A = this chain, B = another copy of it.
Amino acid sequence: MDRNAELIFTGDELLRGDIVNTNQAYLGQRLLDLGIFATHAISVADDLADIVGTIRDALARRPEVLVLSGGLGPTEDDLTREATAEALGVPLEHHEELLEQIRDRFAARGYEMGESNGKQAQLPQGATAIPIAGTAPGFFLERQGTLVVALPGVPWELKEMWEGTIEPRLAAQPGSGAGHAVRRIGVFGIGESMAAEKLADLPWRGSDVEIGTRASLEELTIILRGPATPEGSRRLDEIQARVCSALGDRVLGVNGPGLPQIVGRLLLDAGSTVAVAESCTGGLVGKRFTDVPGSSEYFLGGVTAYSNEVKTALLGVPAELLARHGAVSAEVAGAMAEGVQRLLSSDCALSTTGVAGPGGGTEEKPVGLVFIGSVVRGVTEVERLRLFGRRDQIRERAALAALDLLRRRLQRELAGI
């Protein structure tokens, strides 16, 4: 890979371990999608000489892009403006229009701007300000073929400036972005090693297509990268089609949104509403549904039935069923889904009941045993899961597995299968 970048993160909090640096992974990924590889990512303390030295060392390696993150606030420890100016040997210049923007931001929240914010309107000579996302202005400038970019350390502010200002700029450069194509195939309900096994015979070895995987709680992502030429595009299409066919209905989509958005879209397409009855997930399924703006169009609500009394009294799960099969059983999962569907008069319903741990497991019903119930068009289906990991992982996976069960059922419904 020819095009490269360097990343510098300032802030004692990164070195004291007060904060996990998620900006590094974010920037690394976004740059790579443009065909630019980050070769160094350096966290440095809030010390002017150290920051200046780090910037100089990075510039000496002549990267195409140098991203600085953090140190743009109004306090004494915010040194990125001064350090950049010193490293480049240029003075700082006052930008009155920037000061106005900062003042307006404060006024909108009913605060008055402090005196210390004045320094936020100072930029190294030659720099262009990036529109304020939160309260700290960013900036960028060109220096001997390197695009130097300074962004805030707050992740959402950094993202907004990166995607709003810097990424379009880099993508517009000749030979950029367009030269590199990425396909992200989202997959749910299959592990990394099983996916690797299923994909072992695919014909990308020796080709110019690179394949990688990234496992997160939400999904397994299979990443295909290749040249964005017509020929490369055909190669990517071919491999993508083979991956999708090998993994069947485990595939969520290509370069698409996450599971909660997908299920929301399917519910809208089907004109259906949904309700949830949760035991071991304690509200997480509802949380996942309502993470999506506009989910009130299809998500009616739910009942979290953590105690057996609530399962019986509110969801109408027969006490006899609980006594015979136990709360963690296929029978109770089905009755919970049916109960909440009746209670809220929804079209579809989901339920969860399981042993999240760390305590409460038995030989017959070990930690990680979870039943997911679903009702779609009056038909109840239950799936049994054996999940691994810590309590929080088991709960998160169970909630997502419930969404995924509804996804597969709605997709079959809509396809008329």
Residues of A within 8 A of B (CB): 12-22, 24-32, 37-45, 47, 50, 54, 57, 109, 156, 212, 214, 223, 276, 278, 280-287, 289-291, 293-296, 299-307, 309-310, 314, 343-344, 356-359, 388-392, 395
Contact = CB atoms under 8 A, between A and B. Distances in A.
13 contacts: A15-B38, A15-B41, A16-B32, A17-B26, A18-B214, A40-B42, A42-B43, A281-B287, A282-B295, A290-B304, A290-B306, A293-B357, A300-B309
Given A43-B41, A45-B39, A293-B358, A310 B13 contact: no
Contact of A278 (B12, B32, B42, B283): B283
B29 A25 contact: no
Nearest to A221: B18
3 A-B pairs closest in CB distance: A282-B290, A283-B286, A17-B29
Contacts of A26: 17
A104 B191 CA distance: 21
B282 A304 contact: no
Given A38-B15, A45-B37, A156-B390, A306 B310 contact: no
Contact of A15 (B15, B37, B50): B37
A14 B41 contact: yes
A302 B303 contact: yes
A300 B311 CA distance: 10
A32 B301 CA distance: 45
Contacts of A50: 39-40
A281 B289 CA distance: 11
Contacts of A54: 40
Given A18-B212, A42-B43, 18 more contacts: A13-B214, A15-B40, A17-B25, A17-B27, A17-B32, A20-B20, A40-B43, A57-B57, A156-B389, A282-B291, A282-B295, A283-B302, A286-B286, A293-B358, A300-B307, A301-B303, A301-B307, A304-B304
A359 B294 contact: yes
Contact of A28 (B16, B344, B356, B395): B16
Nearest to A196: B75
Most interface-central of A212, A286, A291, A343 (chain B CB within 10 A)? A286
A296 B355 CA distance: 12
Contacts of A214: 13, 18-19
A28 B293 CA distance: 36
Contacts of A290: 280-283, 304, 306, 356, 395
Q: Tell me how many chains of this kind the complex includes.
A: 2
Q: Could you tell me the dominant secondary structure of chain A's interface residues?
A: mixed
Contact of A306 (B40, B156, B300, B359): B300
A293 B44 CA distance: 38
A65 to B, nearest CB: 13
A23 B93 CA distance: 39
B286 A282 contact: yes
B304 A283 contact: yes
Most interface-central of A39, A109, A280, A282 (chain B CB within 10 A)? A282
Given A304-B286, A304-B301, A43 B19 contact: no
A153 B27 CA distance: 20
Given A25-B19, A278-B283, A310-B301, A40 B44 contact: yes
A291 B205 CA distance: 44
Given A17-B30, A42-B40, A392 B291 contact: yes
Contacts of A293: 356-359, 391
A40 B388 CA distance: 34
A83 to B, nearest CB: 15
